[in-house]
Structure 1
Amino acid sequence: MELNRYIDHTLLKASATEAQILQLCDEAIKYNFYSVCVNSSYVAIAKEALGRSNVKICTVVGFPLGAMSTEAKIFEAKKAIEQGASEIDMVMNIGRLKSKNHVAVLKDISDVKRSIGLIPLKVILEISELSKNEIVKACEICVDAKADFIKTSTGFSKSGATLTAVKIMKKTVRDHLKIKASGGISDAETALKYIEVGVHRIGSSSGVAMMTSQTSDSTY
């Protein structure tokens, strides 16, 4: 198992500079990560920096709150794809979910998915804001909306991924959706634990540290 191919090498902080985005891309090429994950304004820079490498570009939409209009999310997603994004991570409207306005949550996700076609859509649940029952309902909605992945966290809330939440997510979606764990995963040992319970992708800004700690291991 190649850990590097599970990693979305991530830099989403507001203070990220263009030079840091370029460094992120260089690291992704060096370690052959699955993708870089950047804010949408940096997609074009990442596209140029990655050149003909097989590293994909993931970008975030409605980030980090998820509370903007569906139309705004669609515009941001489509513009990012035009500029080179190959995957979209959108934030669920958590307030609508907690209001039990499940129809609105479903429409928000399904409209974005419909607008981007075959481009993979990951829906960020922000598990630190949700009860167990709300996590289950969020997962069920994502299945109905025909998303491709569910994702634990933005990394900008109270806490990130937990194994307990991922197990709930996996039990709910079974094989209908893939799972991305993100938020607080900073070492290879922890990443492997998530993969063992069924995670398909790891979002982390610590990909290089994971790889350098694995240099003598067959994982990489």
Structure 2
Amino acid sequence: MDQHDTHPITVTDMIMPERDGGYLKGYETREMILRTALSILIEEGYRAMSMRRVASACGMKFGNLTYHYRSREDLVRELLDAVIRAYEVEFATIMHMPGVPPEERLSRLCTLVLDDIRSKKTTRFFPELWSLSNHDAFVLERMQELYVRARAPLLEIIAEMRPDLSGDEREIIALFISASMEGMTIFAGHEKPFEPRMPQLERIAIATFCHMVKTITPAQIAGLNAQDNPASA
């Protein structure tokens, strides 16, 4: 059994975005606010993450909170940015491994994502926002932005492995891989029924993804489009 089967790799909570002209105390205060908001969202859900609830949990006045974040939308925007920055740092480390072939980097990137799904933060944070995005246009737009950034390294690796594919073809492959991994959250995430089977699911998924990227043809991709498939008529 691999070491990460029992001790999965997880991504740090978040990396704070910088602001022009900021100062240390303000930076530390914003970090406390975002970490508090993230904790409330994970433990109690998005609806509990009101500005007043965050201010109270931080031990500060509501007016002091709004000095840093004028609205919950501002807070959510920077919280999501801080969360995806943490993933981007990990992705960049994998992407820039000298001498490591793209297939191995694809494997490592997928391992990172699938391991991280087993963390409490990821299992609760992302599905909470997915659900909310069905009814909240602001959250939907922020989540779409987040996943565009998350798919970027996948697209880069696929382009290295398959320069013969068009941009649209690479994008649909990256989307399939991303969606397949994220979908495991509800079945094998933290404290989910199949969490103990995640190491096996990882191995199946990664072998499948690598084989698909190496072998799928433009004709096969086109055939997956219902409009081009005579059998769907």
Larger RCO (CA under 8 A, 6+ residues apart)? 2
TM-score (norm 1): 0.30
**By percentage of residues, which structure has more helix?**
2
TM-score (norm 2): 0.28
**By percentage of residues, which structure has more strand?**
1
